[in-house]
Amino acid sequence: MLPMLQREVVDKHGWVTQEDVLDCYAIGQCTPGVIAVNTATFVGYRQKGALGGLVATLGVITPSVIIITLIALLLRGFASNPFVVHAFAGIRIAVAVLSLMAVIKLYKSGVKGAAGNALMALSFLLRVFFSVSPVLLVLAAVILGIILEWVKGRRKAA
């Protein structure tokens, strides 16, 4: 998604600079939601304010909404077809491979040090064995981050 965005908004239209896109992308990663959508919202906002942000956001989700709606309706019509049932049983195995690899990639880039591993293990165990809500775990992580930084700041001050 990022290379395409660069081609369109930097090279073709010159709406923002290359650094702007990278900045937007970095900020898109640290605000909640879908990164590609966040990046589009930023670019739109920079160009034309809130309305620009709204239009860019709607623009980036429209193709997905149309394509996926068609596929979902189509699949529903064929859901009981035995070929489709068997095909999807095989497809789910391909998805298992893809998601396993995606998690390994995420692990390599996002989990560092003993503390990182411990946090990851804790959220994994709480989710799998105690069905703790993901919302609670995300909130706990944010609060923990704020508290740790606050304590650090106070120590420095003292």
Partner 1 sequence: MTILLLILEFFKTGLFSVGGGLATLPFLYQMSEKYGWFTGEDVANMLAVSESTPGPIGVNMATFTGVTVSGVLGGVIATLALVTPSFLIILIIAKALQHFRENRFVQSSLSMLRPVSVGLIAAAVISVFTASLISKDALFAGEWGSITSWGAVASFAVLLCIYLKWKKLHPVVLVAIGAVAGIVLQL
- Which residues inside 10-39 make contact with partner 1, applying CB under 8 A? 23, 26-38
- Transcribe 25-93 into DSSP letters: HHHHHHSSS-HHHHHHHHHHHHHHHHHHHHHHHHHHHHHHHHHHHHHHHHHHHHTT-HHHHHHHHHHHH
Q: Which two tokens stand for residue 50?
A: 């809130």
Q: For partner 1, give the closer residue by CB, 18 or 146.
A: 146
The single residue among 7, 13, 67, 78 that binds partner 1, judged by CB under 8 A, is: 67
# chain residues binding partner 1, by CB under 8 A: 89
Among positions 78-137, residues that touch partner 1 (CB under 8 A) are 83, 86-103, 106-107, 110-112, 115-117, 119-125, 127-128, 131, 133-135, 137
Q: Which two tokens stand for residue 29?
A: 């990663």
Q: For partner 1, give the closer residue by CB, 13 or 104.
A: 104
Among positions 43-62, residues that touch partner 1 (CB under 8 A) are 45, 50, 53-54, 57, 60-61
CA distance 113 to 53: 38
Beta carbon of residue 23, minimum distance to partner 1 (angstroms, whole number): 7
- Check binding of 73 to partner 1 (CB under 8 A): yes
Q: Which two tokens stand for residue 73?
A: 């309706």
Residue appearing with tokens 């429209």: 62
Q: For partner 1, give the closer residue by CB, 13 or 152.
A: 152
